[in-house]
Structure 1
C-alpha cells in the first residue's frame, strides 16, 4: 500500500489502513481515457480504525454520519488525467475531511446586546430611509 497520510500535527494514518481502487474515468483524457485506470477511490474505515482514539472515532463517526457506509469513508477523484494526480487529490480531500471531522467543537457563542449607539444608528438609518421613501410619493396615491 501507499505511505502514511498526515491529517493534522497530532494524527497520521498509516498507509496500511487506506484502500485504493482504480477504474476508468470519464472526463478529460481523449482516447487515453478508454485505456487508463485514472479514477481513484480511496477508502478509510473510520469505524474500526486502530489509529483513531475512541473519542476521536466517536466524533468523526458522528460528524461524517451520512457519508459513511458501514463505517467506511470513501473519496472518489477523477478530475485529473493522470492517476498519480488523482491519488494526490483524493488523499488531500480525505485529509481535509477527517481534519474537519475530528476538530474540537467551536466554543459556544456568548450572547451580547447591542450598544445604545448602535441602536441609535439603526433607528436614524430607518428614519432617513422613511424620509427618502416619503419624498418619492405622489400625493393622493
Structure 2
C-alpha cells in the first residue's frame, strides 16, 4: 500500500467509521507512520496514530496470526483450478471473484480464534475482554 492509497483509506473510508477519539494501531510501513499520516489521523480523525513495536505484527495482528495463511492457501488452490485469463481487466475480475469465494469459505471460528490468539488486541484499556463479533459472526 503506497502513501496515496493509505491517505485515501484514512480520509475516505476510515474517517466515517470513527465516532470518538481513537488510537489507530499501524504496522511500521513507511506510508502508515509518515508525518503526513500522523497529521491526518490527528487533524481529520481526531485520533492518535500508534505504530506497533517493530517486528511485532505477526504476534499482534489477528489476520497475520491465523487468517492470512488459510486464506492464501484457498486462493492458491482456486487459482490453480481456474482457466487462464488474458487481459489485465479479466485478471483483476478473476482475483476479486476468487477472493470473495475464498473469504466466504473461511469459518467464523477461525477468525474469532485469530483475535483471541492476538491477545494484545482483545481487551480494552481496563484489561477486560472484548468480543469483536455479533451473534452472526460479523465484526462489530
**TM-score in terms of structure 1 length:** 0.23
| Rg comparison, structure with higher value | 1
